[in-house]
A and B are shown apart, each in its own frame.
Chain A
């Protein structure tokens, strides 16, 4: 059995990392090119566009870390609360409208003496 060589293992790991990094940098560069002009089109164009977007996100993240700020995540509870508020308000609107219809019927019945 071949002996484990940590130097070779790390060299392989570094080589893989460099290769992936090179490909990623090229993909980001292609994706960042102005649409239509730098873009070749086809299935790979989407991957390039996506990688450019991820790179943009990474830049924002770095800036955020450098400035010591924390990202304000959307609060799912607040979202749900808004939904409930809307549903109740919509119901109130329907009731307001139904009340108006009832008033109209009552006025009509009163007017015709039915």
Chain B
């Protein structure tokens, strides 16, 4: 067993033992017990670093699979590690781009702006103008940031995944993670890590977002400098602004927090329902409020994709949530893979109706409470939740949280209402829909008239 294997096994076992103690040997409520273990797992993942940070981030967007407590706790995971010396970072840049940093950039700051488990970010200045895929030209002298994969990060991450596979097969882990398909999860995780290790993927997604949001002057996405980019190096426009934790300063500078909260939530609805691509990792550090009253999206590591049919079904499910229509929610959720067995339909429908009335009526709604409650309701009834469905619910809850940090009284369902209503209304004009539904409409009208 390697030193790393021993460390992983030891840290996870210690977390488990500490979790038992923190949960008072199982004598607390289910929620308190889960929260206690979640805290220990999060601390252990932070200690282990590497792939465990990434795994924690993935868990944080999957409350459907891991429960609210663990997903919520993993949101707090700090991805900050000691920086790699600049000489090592410069070597990666020079190997990837084929020239010295002095030749490639007018200047580059040796002190990193950020240092995370996979990549380190340095500020730099362009030595020559560059015409990006979308937007105005970046002139010579433009400020950029250079994101660089840390040397050895890829190998270490993949080795950790191998170790996680070994551990996942052990009896203890199988018992701890019962109900979770560890092998499928690790396959999905390995795919996402491999994608993240190729920074060109993130650059292409950023370009696509910039294009999607071209009619919206309030949304800004950093422009990518492709001739200074390789799989391990991503050079992009530098963004200035305030993180959501610095909102007070932003408001003092005259930023319209309410307007931006509504606009940000609307932008998310457009991503989901119009473009079929959405930023699925919208935590407060991936978002800036700029001095010119705009929202800057950063870090396109986790992006959800939707087909046209899924967009239509999601609009219907959201409409069901907005208008508190449990039947509609279950009917269209089934199209998205949430299949309720016939013998459970009546019970799930009743519980969903109660949840909708409790969280989505009377003044401001609470989508996070509702969304996680709904996923919990499905889980309790043994109903499988497709990954994409859970990711979307979690993303909406996150958008609500982010918007509320900007403006505490915002009602995300009020923002969604015109979107889903219009989208479903417009679908009436589709010839396929008319052909499908008109016979039933005619029968219903005649039945009423002739009754």
Contact = CB atoms under 8 A, between A and B. Distances in A.
Interface of A: 35-37, 39, 41-43, 45-46, 49-50, 53-54, 82, 86, 89-90, 92-94, 96-97, 99-101, 103-108
Interface string B387-429: 0000000000000000000000001011001100110110000
Interface residues of B, number: 45
User: Is chain B's binding surface mostly helix, strand, loop or mixed?
Assistant: helix
B51 to A, nearest CB: 27
20 contacts: A41-B323, A42-B325, A43-B323, A43-B325, A45-B323, A46-B328, A49-B322, A53-B418, A53-B421, A82-B211, A89-B133, A90-B207, A93-B132, A94-B226, A97-B227, A100-B229, A101-B98, A101-B230, A104-B95, A104-B99
B97 A100 contact: yes
Nearest to A46: B323
B363 A36 contact: yes
B414 A90 contact: no
Contacts of B325: 41-43, 45-46
Given A41-B357, A43-B327, A53-B422, A96 B363 contact: no
Contacts of B194: none
Contacts of A96: 226-227
B166 interface: no
Given A104-B95, A105-B98, A42 B214 contact: no
B425 A100 contact: no
Contact of B98 (A36, A39, A97, A104): A104
Given A96-B227, A100-B227, A49 B323 contact: yes
Interface string B288-327: 0000000000000000000000000000000100111101
B324 A86 contact: no
Contacts of A37: 362-363
Given A93-B133, A104-B230, A46 B421 contact: yes
B207 A39 contact: no
Nearest to A95: B226
A108 B211 contact: no
A105 B214 CA distance: 36
Contacts of A49: 322-323, 417, 421
A53 B425 contact: yes
A37 B363 CA distance: 6
B134 interface: yes
